[in-house]
């Protein structure tokens, strides 16, 4: 719509100033404004409206599940990087049974962890689809002993548990005859736009299939790095997805999209995107790799999570189920401990706003949606008091989140003649500390008002 209004103004201006050129205005400016109004990548619903649940959700679970869990090797990359031959990689099909797949139990576990959405790899770069795609036989129904659709029960169970359902989809496909790349060293062809166009028909066909079958809440694209958006026709593909599914959210990896996707590296300052999500492995691998024992402890994940929400982002924490659908015990343990903490501190997490700069509090923080409660997070046992600086508001009360204990606090360095707020020292007794990360709630007398001016002139003493 926003293109139409300026278009009308321009048309009117041309009409008034160059009466002779009315024809030009009608023929040129109006169609131009209509073209702007129909920018193909623009989703039909207001972006903020579509993004609201995502922004409030804070925590999602990523699931990398595919035939790579049979040998427990790198998902798709192991053959692309010549660590195993394609034939041997594909042999894993024979061992993929999904025989203990219990999507209801998955959904309950994810819910228990505190996640509000879950994203399943419906197809990774190896091209193996977890649903019975009509586009080829490379799917778990036709090509593995699992012999059944794994996506439908996932989406149903996730939604039944009250979570939003996201689908990961690799737009590139190293197994497909019309995708130019095969491995890092072997290409199938070079410079053949016609053949690439037939690949676009294939991948967009699969995407539309998924979109219409499941109406996912979110598409998590991957693999857009090797060809440009023109080749992948991303605008056209996205326009169709939004048309069929107006509430859809798309990540940034089909170029553009609704939110940014930093990966593994924790942002230290808020990324420039309005919305973003850090995706992170629970150990060092996306898929199941029993040899990878480098698990992050629940405490580490909680502290990373606190940093992420403090900067206004979401965390998408990845798990890698075994070939039979079992989520490894260690991963279950971490999710459950994370769940203990998120449940206890839910008021400080969900629907929160980004917190205050670290110059005011030396750690992560969040704010209630109306900005009247400030939440302070710390994962240590304080030597003395916790200090909060430069808050102009009157403090009405401070308590321990999920515990309720009211805390004593004292203000120091508040000169009566100065507008510089005093330092608020909060006394935190050992017995209220959380084993992983303690959260304090500071109730203010109104919306938070931070002191940001330079030092004061001394006029009295």
CB of 77 to ligand GLC, least distance (A): 6
CA 152, CA 132: separation in Å to the nearest integer?
A: 10
CB of 220 to ligand GLC, least distance (A): 8
CA 137, CA 373: separation in Å to the nearest integer?
A: 55
CB of 149 to ligand GLC, least distance (A): 21
CB of 247 to ligand GLC, least distance (A): 23
Contact pick of 201, 228, 244, 263 for ligand GLC (by CB under 6 A): 263
CA 117, CA 353: separation in Å to the nearest integer?
A: 19
Window 64-83: residues binding ligand GLC (CB under 6 A): 75, 77
CB closer to ligand GLC, 77 vs 341? 77
CB closer to ligand GLC, 64 vs 238? 64
Sketch the per residue contact string, 279 through 308, with ligand GLC: x for CB under 6 A, - otherwise.
x------x----------------------
CB closer to ligand GLC, 263 vs 445? 263
CB of 151 to ligand GLC, least distance (A): 16
Measured in whole angstroms, the distance separating CA 360 from the mean position of its chain's CA atoms is: 28
Helix (H), strand (E) at residue 353: strand 353-354
Rg (CA), the chain: 26
Token pair 């710390």 in the structure block, residue? 378
CB closer to ligand GLC, 287 vs 328? 287
CB closer to ligand GLC, 278 vs 322? 278
CB of 286 to ligand GLC, least distance (A): 5
Question: CA angle, corner 404, sides to 401 and 405, nearest 5?
Answer: 110
Beta-carbon count within 10 A of 151 CB: 25
When asked if residue 169 is in the footprint of ligand GLC (CB under 6 A), the reply is no
CA 160, CA 191: separation in Å to the nearest integer?
A: 47
Q: State both tokens at 440.
A: 């304090």
Are the C-beta atoms of 101 and 152 separated by less than 8 Å?
no
Token pair 């590296």 in the structure block, residue? 265
Name the site residues for ligand GLC (rule: CB under 6 A). 75, 77, 222, 263, 279, 286
């Amino acid at each position: 719509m926003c293109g139409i209004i300026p278009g009308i103004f321009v048309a009117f201006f041309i009409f008034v100033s160059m009466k002779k050129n009315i024809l030009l205005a009608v023929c040129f400016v109006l169609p131009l404004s209509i073209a702007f109004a129909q920018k193909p990548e623009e989703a039909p619903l207001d972006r903020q409206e579509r993004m609201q649940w995502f922004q409030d959700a804070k925590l999602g679970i990523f699931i990398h599940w595919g035939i790579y869990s049979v040998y427990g090797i790198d998902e798709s990359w192991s053959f692309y990087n010549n660590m195993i031959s394609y034939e041997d990689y594909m042999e894993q099909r024979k061992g993929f049974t999904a025989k203990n797949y219990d999507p209801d139990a998955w959904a309950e576990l994810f819910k228990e962890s505190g996640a509000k959405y879950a994203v399943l790899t419906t197809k990774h770069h190896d091209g193996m689809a977890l649903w019975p795609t009509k586009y080829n036989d490379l799917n778990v129904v036709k090509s593995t002993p699992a012999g059944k659709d794994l996506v439908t029960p996932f989406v149903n169970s996730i939604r039944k548990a009250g979570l939003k359902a996201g689908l990961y989809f690799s737009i590139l496909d190293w197994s497909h005859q019309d995708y130019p790349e095969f491995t890092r060293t072997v290409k199938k062809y070079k410079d053949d736009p016609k053949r690439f166009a037939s690949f676009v028909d294939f991948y967009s066909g699969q995407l539309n299939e998924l979109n219409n079958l499941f109406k996912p809440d979110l598409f998590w694209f991957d693999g857009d790095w090797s060809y440009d958006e023109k080749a992948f026709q991303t605008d056209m593909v996205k326009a169709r997805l939004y048309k069929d599914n107006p509430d859809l959210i798309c990540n940034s990896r089909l170029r553009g999209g609704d939110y940014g996707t930093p990966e593994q590296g924790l942002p230290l300052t808020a990324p420039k995107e309005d919305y973003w999500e850090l995706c992170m492995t629970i150990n060092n691998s996306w898929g199941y790799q029993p040899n990878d024992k480098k698990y992050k402890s629940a405490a580490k994940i909680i502290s990373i999570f606190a940093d992420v929400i403090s900067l206004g982002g979401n965390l998408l924490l990845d798990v890698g189920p075994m070939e039979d659908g079992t989520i490894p015990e260690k991963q279950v343990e971490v999710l459950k401990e994370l769940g203990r903490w998120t449940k206890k501190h839910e008021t400080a997490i969900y629907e929160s706003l980004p917190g205050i700069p670290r110059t005011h509090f030396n750690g992560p923080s969040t704010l209630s949606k109306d900005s009247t409660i400030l939440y302070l997070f710390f994962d240590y046992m304080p030597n003395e008091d916790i200090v909060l600086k430069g808050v102009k508001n009157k403090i009405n009360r401070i308590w321990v989140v999920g515990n309720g204990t009211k805390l004593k606090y004292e203000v120091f360095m508040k000169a009566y003649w100065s507008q510089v707020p005093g330092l608020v020292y909060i006394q935190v007794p050992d017995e209220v500390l959380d084993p992983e990360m303690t959260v304090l709630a500071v109730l203010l007398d109104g919306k938070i008002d931070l002191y940001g001016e330079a030092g004061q002139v001394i006029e009295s003493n």
